[in-house]
Amino acid sequence: MNSYHISRSIPSLAIILLLMRCNQNEPPLGLPASMDTSWATHLQFDMPWPGLESSPWPMFLHDPQHTGRSPHRGPQEGRVEWYYETGGFVYSSAALGSDGTIYTQSWDGFLYALSSGGGLKWKFNLGSASDGITTIGSDGTIYTGAIGNTGNFYALDENGNAKWTFRTGGSGHWSAPVLSYDGQTIYFIAGDSSSNGRSLFALRRDGTLKWKYTPLANDLINFSIALSPSGLIICPGIGQNQAPIYAVDSTGAMRWRFVATGMGTNITTSSPCIDNDGNIYFACDRTLYSLSHEGILRWQTVGVNVSGDIGPVLGRDGTLYISGGSHISAFDYAGRLKWKYPVQTSQSIPAIDIDGTIYVGTNTFRASADTVDFLALNPDGSVRFKLSLREMDGRVADIVSRPAISGDGSIYVGSDQPQSHRVFKIK
């Protein structure tokens, strides 16, 4: 039970003692003044997805619903077991094969395949600097796109050989690939020269085009898509003073379009996550939204610290966790703030382990004395451990890469600025 799950019937002395105990373990902020912590919950379960590799973390945010939730326990010690030095920044998030191979892109233009011991198995030349993300199919096929001028989307075998290449005609791939339930269709958003923007592509397993969806005029779809249990493809977008989020079905037809409003001239809807009932959660311009599977607003919570494509992830009890700005925040199933933990800034979407531990990286604008760039938080927002990935020369790495939880109690995460080009294994 959450350490802040307090009944109104508890005497005030007990409340004071409870808060004193939490204060000894670096408490979160944001406890509502009303002390109403009868949080709304909704039990979540892991959905089977036969089209994906049967591995601990086969894709971006673990699964097509982008829950960010692992069935395995994450690191307990907070130490680096090894790191691998690539030739460029590692913004990309890792995908893990069933044999323990770690796949991640680097800004040097290569997709790296690393062994669980930290050695290089192979690397594949993507043709341009890239921070694209990899997804692994049930037959071991590795799907990945290159951000840059090549406009190429690749299917590779487990030895790093190209099975086929699909060219979109645009200038990059902006979303992690998502596979249909049966694994027969690959969905991704990419630059599309024929539309002067970005389109949602659906490819068959042999690399031929099944269909593509181009958004309405003046709309621009953006960032990473998610799949609902019903098979709807949820596509976030970008716009001026308002930003759309789309639902497209498996034939390429738009089912509905919801518009989120904001104050900026260019605002985006974040990468979405989806619960077992098909409800959708995303952020836009400091607001956290929840939609039903029909695209109807369920609730919205304003004043959320988010930016760009930083979307929420979903715990087993229905708690939503989101990073961005100056806090890591937790919201209950009804959208009420449970707690927030202060950081300098974070653009690393959290990962959640079987115990509910939240793992997240931090980046730029840290105080000079603050060398922490990776955190593990307990479900109540208190600190489990802090970790510094400081370089030998004293510089502190930025962590924008999203953590991937393995089956052996480890996490893999990449680092970038100021000069860090590493993939870390954290125990």
pLDDT digits (tens, 9 = 90+) for 319-360: 999 987 788 999 999 999 999 998 877 778 999 999 999 999
Look at the block and give the residue holding tokens 């708690």.
319
What pLDDT sits at residue 33? 41
- What would the mean pLDDT of 190-195 be, rounded to a whole number? 73
pLDDT of residue 11: 36
Q: Residue 367's pLDDT is what?
A: 47
Phi-psi region at 338: left, alpha or beta (left = phi > 0; alpha = psi -120 to 50): alpha
Q: What is the pLDDT of residue 264?
A: 61
How high is the pLDDT of residue 20? 37
pLDDT of residue 366: 47
Quote the pLDDT of residue 226. 96
- Greater confidence (146 vs 77) lies with 77
Q: Which residues pair with 235 in a beta bridge?
A: 246
CB 396 within 8 A of CB 388: yes
Residues 185-199 have a mean pLDDT of 81
Q: Which long-range contacts (C-beta less than 8 Å, at least 24 apart) are formed by 278-282?
A: 278/228, 278/229, 278/230, 278/232, 280/226, 280/228, 280/234, 280/245, 281/311, 281/312, 281/314, 281/320, 282/236, 282/245, 282/311, 282/312
- Judged against a pLDDT cut of 70, whether residue 212 lies above it is answered with yes
Q: How many residues belong to the chain?
A: 427
Cα 379 to Cα 280: distance, rounded to the nearest angstrom: 22
CATH class held by domain 39-426: mainly beta
Contact, 398 vs 416, CB < 8 A?
yes
Task: Give dist(CA 413, CA 369) in Å, integer.
Answer: 23
Supply the mean pLDDT for the chain. 84
The beta-carbon contacts of 151-155 under 8 Å, at least 24 apart in sequence, are 151/190, 151/191, 151/193, 152/126, 152/127, 153/177, 153/188, 153/190, 153/201, 153/203, 154/124, 154/126, 155/207
Dig out the tokens for 25 from the structure: 């373990």
Does the pLDDT value for residue 418 go beyond 90? no
- For residue 4, is pLDDT > 70? no
Question: If you average pLDDT over residues 290-318, what whole number do you get?
Answer: 89
147 pLDDT above the threshold of 90: no
Q: Which candidate, 333, 34, 246, places its Cα nearest to that of 321?
A: 333
Contact by Cβ (8 Å): 74, 83: no
Residue 216 has what pLDDT?
Answer: 77
Task: Using DSSP bridges, classify how beta strands 102-105 and 178-179 pair: parallel, antiparallel or unpaired.
Answer: unpaired
Quick check: 157 pLDDT over 50? yes
* 419 vs 76, higher pLDDT: 76
Identify the pLDDT of residue 146: 78
What b/e sequence results for 323-357 when a residue is b if at least 16 CB atoms lie within 10 Å of its CB, and e otherwise? bbbebbbbbbbebbbbbbbebebbbbbbbbbeebb
Percent of the chain topping pLDDT 90: 58
Q: Is the pLDDT of residue 63 over 90?
A: yes
| Average pLDDT of the residues in 19-27 | 41
pLDDT at 14 over 50: no
Q: Phi/psi class of residue 108: alpha, beta or left (left: φ > 0; alpha: ψ in -120 to 50)?
A: alpha
Cβ neighbours around 79 below 10 Å, total: 11
Contact yes or no for 50/180 (Cβ under 8 A)? no
Q: 249-282: buried (b, 16+ CB within 10 Å) or exposed (e) per residue?
A: ebeeeeeebbebebeeeebbbbbbbbbbebbbbb
Instruction: State the average pLDDT over residues 420-425.
Output: 90
Distances (CA, A) of 338 to 36, 38, 180, 348, 368: 10, 10, 34, 20, 30
Between 74 and 149, the more confident residue is 74
pLDDT band at 127 (very low <50, low <70, confident <90, very high): confident
pLDDT above 70 as % of the chain: 82
Out of 10-19, 78-87, 271-280, 290-299, least confident range: 10-19
Nearest to residue 275, comparing CAs of 40, 93, 31?
A: 40
Lowest mean pLDDT among 107-111, 119-123, 172-176, 328-332: 172-176
Tokens at 267, concatenated: 């605002």
Q: Is the pLDDT of residue 235 over 70?
A: yes
Q: Which of 130-139, 172-181, 378-387 has the highest mean pLDDT?
A: 378-387
Mean pLDDT computed over 360-373: 68
Tokens coding 130: 């890239």
Residue 13 confidence (pLDDT): 34
